[in-house]
Amino acid sequence: MGWVVAMSDRSTAAARLACSWLLSYPDERLLAQLDGIAAIAEELPASSGDPIRAFLDHLSGTPLTVVQEHYVVMFDMKRKACPYLTYWTDGDTRNRGRAILRFKQAYLDAGFELGSEELPDHLSVVLEFAAVGDRLTGEALLAEHQEAIHLLRDALARMESAYVHVLDGVVATLPAVTPEIRQRMADIAASGPPSESVGLEPFGAALSLEPLGARR
């Protein structure tokens, strides 16, 4: 994977790409990228570089099997730490199917094929697209789902997960939280995602951004 990011805001793109990697399943492919991620973190502003380095320190001092088990527990088994952005606003409802389709179409419109490993609204996929795909479209998708990203960050903090460092790195690349965004976060947190479990069958297969590097 190349670490040259030809974008106008190089630091933001680099931070998002590093966080995208760190939010993927921790396996040998991720371990092979850690030196590159560490080098990028050294060039980032403290707001994004410090939390990324903190998570890298955690990885270096924790057995891989422990990190993998924690990842599964956090992101696959706990609804309160769901990394799929549309889940926070649409839950398991038919509306979520349409919301996921919007992500998929945005990637296709930008010339990116979708693979078969991850859904298009997974935060790691959106971050990668915003970093090395279509910058403006990626920025819009992240801005539109700021509330979900902040809620995920807060959930990881409450559960004392080291992955909160990665989310801190992500949040550092987002626009400032406005009173409107904060109120929306409070509304979602208070009510929880919708729970209607219909209409998702067309979106059961996983998706990913094939052109965005060798990891997917």
| Per-residue tens of pLDDT for the chain, all 216 residues | 443 343 337 899 999 999 999 999 999 999 999 999 999 999 999 999 999 999 999 999 999 999 999 999 999 887 789 999 988 876 665 677 778 888 888 888 888 876 667 788 999 999 998 898 888 888 888 988 888 999 999 999 999 999 999 999 999 999 776 677 667 656 655 655 444 433 333 322 333 445 434 344
| pLDDT for res 211 | 46
Structure token digits, residue 189: 């947190």
| Residue given tokens 């947190």 in the structure block | 189
Instruction: Please state the φ and ψ torsions of residue 90, each to the nearest 5 degrees.
Output: -120, -15
CA-to-CA distance for 96 and 102, rounded, in angstroms?
10
| pLDDT for res 200 | 30
Structure token digits, residue 92: 């398991």
| pLDDT for res 202 | 30
Could you tell me if residue 82 is left (phi over 0), alpha (psi between -120 and 50 degrees) or otherwise beta?
beta
| pLDDT for res 20 | 95
CA-to-CA distance for 112 and 118, rounded, in angstroms?
14
| Residue given tokens 């630091």 in the structure block | 11
Structure token digits, residue 45: 């502003």
> Can you say how many angstroms the Cα of residue 126 is from the centroid of all Cα atoms in its chain?
6
Q: What residues form DSSP beta bridges with 84? A: 122
| pLDDT for res 10 | 87
| pLDDT for res 215 | 41
Supply the angle between the helices 164-171 and 10-22 in degrees, to the nearest 10: 160
